[in-house]
Amino acid sequence: MTGTFSLPASRTEVVLEEIRRGILTRELVPGQPLVEAELAARLGVSKTPVREALKVLSNSGLVTFSPYKGASVITVDAELAKSVYDVRMVLEPEAVRRTVERRDPELLEDAAEALKEASTAIADKDQAALSLLNRRFHRALYSGCGNPLLVSILDDLKDRAALISVVGWEANPSWKKEWTEHKAVLAAAKKGDADGAAALLREHIGGFLERVLKAIG
């Protein structure tokens, strides 16, 4: 998290992505205070875009605010993991089922490309890239469900889900297993097997939650 940005399209967006990356790569560790002045100095910006970025990250679930301590990186515990994955287990398989029924070849192609790039990220052990590709794969398969509100709800979980994934991967880097599971979901989707893709995805999400809960202890 160093360097000065020149002529960004949106200074707040650039700061937002840099802080998000720091959290998801564990450069900024759980419970770490996020002091506006310190972050501004490290990123070469004023405190205003940092303040705005922290507000956005609070809404997306990566940052928490305390009346006395200010902003800090959220800590993943069993309660958070269960609540996020409970919503995903209920909503995401149904969204994927509907996407498959609607048969959008562009979304399936995007999912396939994300899966291909994830294979390289696994080989390189690039956790940051893998986190983004994992998010891209899942979104490609639910974003065509035809219900913008359902897509918005699942999008709102993406940062929390990514952070929970990082916690699970630290204890058990099960990237290859998840890649294989993604491949099976995509194969079912390409065949037009909406119920099969939904069932495989539900099993995939539930299995990962079990591993995360074991990691948290």
pLDDT at 5 over 50: no
Q: Diameter of the chain by CA atoms?
A: 55
Domain end (from 20, 43, 73): 73
Give the residue numbers spanning the domain of 177. 78-216
In contact, 133 and 118? CB cutoff 8 Å: yes
145 alpha-carbon distance from chain centroid: 19
In a domain, 4, yes or no: no
pLDDT at 140 over 90: yes
Identify the band that residue 126 occupies on the pLDDT scale cut at 50, 70 and 90: confident
Same domain, 93 and 127: yes
Domain end (from 73, 104, 120): 73
In a domain, 97, yes or no: yes
pLDDT in tens, 166-216: 888 888 888 899 999 999 999 999 999 999 999 999 999 999 999 999 888
pLDDT at 37 over 90: yes
In a domain, 5, yes or no: no
Per the structure, how many domains does the chain have? 2
Same domain, 27 and 96: no
pLDDT in tens, 153-176: 999 999 999 889 888 888 888 889
Same domain, 132 and 202: yes
Q: Quick one: CA torsion of 148, 149, 154, 157, rounded to 10 degrees?
A: 130
In a domain, 6, yes or no: no
Same domain, 30 and 135: no
Q: How far is CA 212 from CA 40, 126, 153, 166, 179, in A?
A: 33, 19, 22, 9, 17
Same domain, 98 and 160: yes
In a domain, 35, yes or no: yes
Q: CA-to-CA distance for 18 and 160, rounded, in angstroms?
A: 16
Q: CA-to-CA distance for 114 and 76, rounded, in angstroms?
A: 26
In a domain, 125, yes or no: yes
pLDDT at 139 over 80: yes
CATH number at residue 58: 1.10.10.10
Same domain, 134 and 206: yes
pTM, 2 dp: 0.84
CATH number at residue 138: 1.20.120.530
Q: What is the mean pLDDT of residues 137-161?
A: 95
Same domain, 40 and 136: no
